Amino acid sequence: MGKVESYRNSSDLIMCFCGTCGTSVYELAPASKQFGLCSGALDAANGIIELKEHMFVAATKDGGLREWLLDIPAWEMYRQDPSGSIEPGKAYGAKASATSNTTEGDILHCSCHCKGVQFNITRPGPRSSMLHSPWPDLLMPYFENASDNSADVKWWIRAGGTKYLAGTCACNSCRRGSGYDIQCWAFVPKVNIQKTNRDPIDFDLATLKRYTISEGAYREFCGKCGAVVFWHGDERPDLVDVSVGLLNARSGARAEEWLEWCTGRVSFQELAQNKSLIEKLAIGIKDWGARRTANE
């Protein structure tokens, strides 16, 4: 691990991450003298680390991942405030509908916490399909199928050409790269990712740093606040994984007016370190998808 960098993301919380690869390692709350270890940075978690609660759920606007793990208690803010408990089905606060016209239109602004990395995503267009990509494990589990996409299916384009595919990943690379057991990605063509001045993206944004995971595979993160930003590789250079947490969508953390979530599986769930957590997530996201389908 490289030098540990620190970033104060609020008045009472300091996040600490690896300055070489961006992995979140631990957090400090100096006033209360509390210390939190990021579970994804551990070499063993199953049977040791258990998800007991969701905090600050109100900030997500739409519930975020809490909607896929409903059996775990949730709090609007800190768990110390009993009045902030959120029961399943309770509204998370005012938000725009995922199908309303009060969305961002054709441009979605994205940024990390410190705003050192900022970029825009545009809606799918004709050029969004002018590329080729193998299947992701999210849709074609690699332990069962070959990843080659001989039929050239444009699997990243969804909802009649208006949204991008998004999903959850539990692979060791994402876990170690983020510091957390679950990483959420949106699959976006490079032509649809722009600098804020609308120039093409070239991965040289102000505080963006690159880490080479393996030959031909790269991850970018913010060197100031540690946010995970991109994953991309030589195998599919024109399609980029964008960390969903950076999307500033009006509807909330899941950005459903821009993304269609894969509910069939968690990517690389067979390789998950915290198997009990990922098994719960896989069941929860399938149930969420079934409820959505039944209500359509």
Q: What is the DSSP letter of 83?
A: G
Does residue 27 have a pLDDT over 50? yes
Residue 12: which H helix or E strand, with range? none
Give the integer Cα–Cα distance in Å for 22 and 195: 22
Which residues have CB under 8 Å from 73's CB, separation 6+?
52, 53, 54, 79, 85
Does residue 118 have a pLDDT over 70? yes
Give the integer Cα–Cα distance in Å for 64 and 68: 8
pTM score: 0.91
Tens digits of per-residue pLDDT, 55-82? 888 889 999 999 999 888 877 766 555 5
Does residue 167 have a pLDDT over 70? yes
The answer to whether 88 and 108 have CB atoms below 8 angstroms apart is no
Q: What is the pLDDT of residue 100?
A: 38
Average pLDDT over the chain reads 89
Does residue 15 have a pLDDT over 90? yes
Residue 202: other Cβ atoms inside 10 A:
9
β-sheet bridge partners, residue 148: none
Which residues have CB under 8 Å from 234's CB, separation 6+?
216, 217
C-alpha torsion 21→25→31→34, nearest 10: 180
3-state secondary structure 98-145: CCCCCCCCCEEEEECCCCCCEEEEECCCHHHHCCCCCCCCCCCCCCCC
Mean pLDDT value of segment 257-275: 96
Percentage of the residues of the chain whose pLDDT score is greater than 70: 90
Q: What is the pLDDT of residue 119?
A: 97
Measured CA distances, 27 to 103, 114, 120 (Å): 34, 16, 29
Tens digits of per-residue pLDDT, 78-103? 655 555 555 555 556 544 444 333 34
The answer to whether 181 and 40 have CB atoms below 8 angstroms apart is yes
Q: Residue 195 has which token pair?
A: 């600098």
